[in-house]
Chain A
């Protein structure tokens, strides 16, 4: 008949920019040994505090300048991206799986599972997250896996709350009742009928959470609680840059820009992805 309204919105510039930046940063991190112009750990006191390429005194091959130990800033940022992305993917995915599963159960089943899960979430959220993270890493010990674990343990509640509310409103819809009448089991309805409808939100939150994980990792590195200090991380570069802000501003500014762009891109990417994922908005 005549009622079709199948329109596809063109890819928004937001999605493009965010996606390009993330893809570039990700590829750079994966192929860091091939791409980085210098060894990120090589110190050379003859080359200390070189400015970025457009200023007087810059050396070719050291595009963003060097830090106070003469290490190449661009190479350190590229290698720092490895840890940032590993933490982003691992921590956000773990938080997402745990939080979304509990949220879906609480929202769809209601009753006592809902009461227990909501109570735990309330208690969890009473802790200030950054302090909680520092505390956890202090207990778990520093290292990549404890940083990932700490972020997942803290941030699953973000997924749980949102997905619970969405699953709850979906569970009240008539299509869930129709599925009951047709004879589907409860778990089947939860997974096959309700889950696809909360998935766009899960995806958006997942991307947002990756950005948050990048920040938390940077904060932990900044207070020297993250990975071993040898490997460059964005947070540790920022911490060093802060000390030499007056002599070499670039050591602070470039990692900050990188961090902010990445975090913003993750959240924008998530929003745009949600809109494309949702059949009603699409």
Chain B
């Protein structure tokens, strides 16, 4: 089957030449949840931004390809790329407060997108939004649609953003730590909602997290990222049963109980990190971008 998202050998550098992504390869099948796990600064967000075409100006892609449902983003002109990304992908962001426009009502923000970008009629967009609000278990859509973002709680805002992400039926959703900014009690509900909607809509998700407990709960496949490099990828059950890479093993060992999504990571064993760093430094020495 043709992957929904296919990243092949993607490398990106900062202006000082430092690499933030090191030949990352990763694919997400249609309807599959792929977890992307790694510690802070590993480059998880960068991968998501690269896919969605919103890398910071200072970050430059120097090699590799990204394909969304078989279409190579690199071969499209800027406008076609935007259209493709807009139509087939969506983002569930980390911080539900800044991801909503503070001065526009929720309803206007949600329908605007369907009407102006996808050309839906106002009524159709409105009906769609209400249906999605129902799916994310918002009981009083009237009030929510009329509210400004700051009038809702964090959990409500994240529900709204989940509804908005699924509204246009994207094929791929990038969820960048969608629960880290929320209360612990709300995290569980939000995670369950994402899983529920993902199953109902058959949407593929690239699920970024640093939490192995969440990985175990939600994903079918995992890629483990360290310093911009995928050090291991496996089926989720396989990864926990028989982790191959020492870094993965250390990561699992550092998580008190990986079935507990709320246990936080302990620092990974120093010797493992030292070995990895040396390995990456050695690889950097002979690395040349294949083009660009």
Q: Which residues of A are in contact with B by a Cβ distance under 8 Å? A: 1, 3-6, 173-175, 177-178, 180-184, 192-193, 196-197, 199, 278-280
**Nearest chain A CB to B114's CB is how many angstroms away?**
10
In the assembled complex, which residues on chain A have CB atoms less than 8 Å from the CB atom of B98? 173-175
Q: A183–B156 contact, CB under 8 A?
A: no
Q: B117–A181 contact, CB under 8 A?
A: no
Contact residue among A4, A183, A196 (Cβ-Cβ distance under 8 Å from B83): A183
In the assembled complex, which residues on chain A have CB atoms less than 8 Å from the CB atom of B116? 184
**Nearest chain A CB to B60's CB is how many angstroms away?**
15
Query: Can you offer 21 A-B residue contacts whose CB atoms are under 8 A?
Result: A1-B156, A173-B98, A174-B98, A174-B99, A175-B98, A175-B100, A175-B102, A178-B91, A178-B93, A180-B82, A181-B52, A181-B89, A182-B117, A183-B83, A184-B116, A193-B104, A196-B103, A197-B101, A279-B102, A279-B148, A280-B102
Per the bound structure, the CA–CA distance linking A175 and B97 in Å amounts to: 9
Task: Pick the most buried of A4, A183, A193: most chain B CB atoms within 10 A of its CB.
Answer: A183
Tell me, yes or no, whether B217 is within 8 Å of chain A by CB.
Answer: no
CB-contacts of B118-143 with A (<8 A): 138-140, 143
B103 and chain A: residue at smallest CB distance = A196
Per the bound structure, the CA–CA distance linking A173 and B101 in Å amounts to: 9
Size of the chain B interface, CB-CB below 8 angstroms: 35
A176 and chain B: residue at smallest CB distance = B101
B113 and chain A: residue at smallest CB distance = A182
In the assembled complex, which residues on chain A have CB atoms less than 8 Å from the CB atom of B143? 4
Contact residue among B85, B103, B153 (Cβ-Cβ distance under 8 Å from A181): B85
Tell me, yes or no, whether B95 is within 8 Å of chain A by CB.
Answer: yes
B96 and chain A: residue at smallest CB distance = A174
Q: B99–A175 contact, CB under 8 A?
A: yes
In the assembled complex, which residues on chain B have CB atoms less than 8 Å from the CB atom of A1? 138-140, 153, 156
Tell me, yes or no, whether B280 is within 8 Å of chain A by CB.
Answer: no
Contact residue among A6, A180, A280 (Cβ-Cβ distance under 8 Å from B54): A180
In the assembled complex, which residues on chain B have CB atoms less than 8 Å from the CB atom of A184? 116-117
In the assembled complex, which residues on chain B have CB atoms less than 8 Å from the CB atom of A197? 101-103
Tell me, yes or no, whether B86 is within 8 Å of chain A by CB.
Answer: yes
Per the bound structure, the CA–CA distance linking A5 and B148 in Å amounts to: 10
In the assembled complex, which residues on chain B have CB atoms less than 8 Å from the CB atom of A183? 82-83, 85-87, 117
Q: A181–B91 contact, CB under 8 A?
A: yes
In the assembled complex, which residues on chain A have CB atoms less than 8 Å from the CB atom of B100? 175
A279 and chain B: residue at smallest CB distance = B148
In the assembled complex, which residues on chain B have CB atoms less than 8 Å from the CB atom of A280? 102-103, 148, 150
Q: Which residues of B are in contact with A by a Cβ distance under 8 Å? A: 52-54, 82-83, 85-87, 89-91, 93, 95, 98-104, 112-113, 116-117, 138-140, 143, 147-148, 150-153, 156
Q: A181–B54 contact, CB under 8 A?
A: yes
A180 and chain B: residue at smallest CB distance = B54
In the assembled complex, which residues on chain A have CB atoms less than 8 Å from the CB atom of B99? 174-175, 178
**Nearest chain B CB to A280's CB is how many angstroms away?**
5
In the assembled complex, which residues on chain A have CB atoms less than 8 Å from the CB atom of B117? 182-184
Per the bound structure, the CA–CA distance linking A180 and B52 in Å amounts to: 9
Task: Pick the most buried of A192, A197, A279: most chain B CB atoms within 10 A of its CB.
Answer: A279
A3 and chain B: residue at smallest CB distance = B153
Per the bound structure, the CA–CA distance linking A174 and B113 in Å amounts to: 16
Contact residue among A5, A175, A180, A181 (Cβ-Cβ distance under 8 Å from B90): A181
**Nearest chain A CB to B216's CB is how many angstroms away?**
28
Known contacts A181-B54, A196-B101, A196-B104; 9 additional CB pairs below 8 A are A173-B98, A174-B99, A175-B99, A177-B54, A178-B99, A182-B90, A183-B117, A193-B101, A279-B102
In the assembled complex, which residues on chain A have CB atoms less than 8 Å from the CB atom of B54? 177, 180-181
In the assembled complex, which residues on chain B have CB atoms less than 8 Å from the CB atom of A181? 52-54, 85-86, 89-91
**Nearest chain A CB to B136's CB is how many angstroms away?**
12
In the assembled complex, which residues on chain B have CB atoms less than 8 Å from the CB atom of A177? 54, 91
A200 and chain B: residue at smallest CB distance = B103
**Nearest chain B CB to A262's CB is how many angstroms away?**
30
Per the bound structure, the CA–CA distance linking A280 and B54 in Å amounts to: 27
In the assembled complex, which residues on chain A have CB atoms less than 8 Å from the CB atom of B104? 193, 196
Per the bound structure, the CA–CA distance linking A174 and B176 in Å amounts to: 12
Task: Pick the most buried of B83, B103, B156: most chain A CB atoms within 10 A of its CB.
Answer: B103
Task: Pick the most buried of A177, A180, A182: most chain B CB atoms within 10 A of its CB.
Answer: A182
Q: Which 4 interchain pairs have the tightest Cβ spacing?
A: A183-B86, A174-B99, A3-B153, A279-B148
Per the bound structure, the CA–CA distance linking A7 and B4 in Å amounts to: 46
In the assembled complex, which residues on chain B have CB atoms less than 8 Å from the CB atom of A175? 98-102
Per the bound structure, the CA–CA distance linking A193 and B103 in Å amounts to: 8
Per the bound structure, the CA–CA distance linking A183 and B112 in Å amounts to: 12
A281 and chain B: residue at smallest CB distance = B150
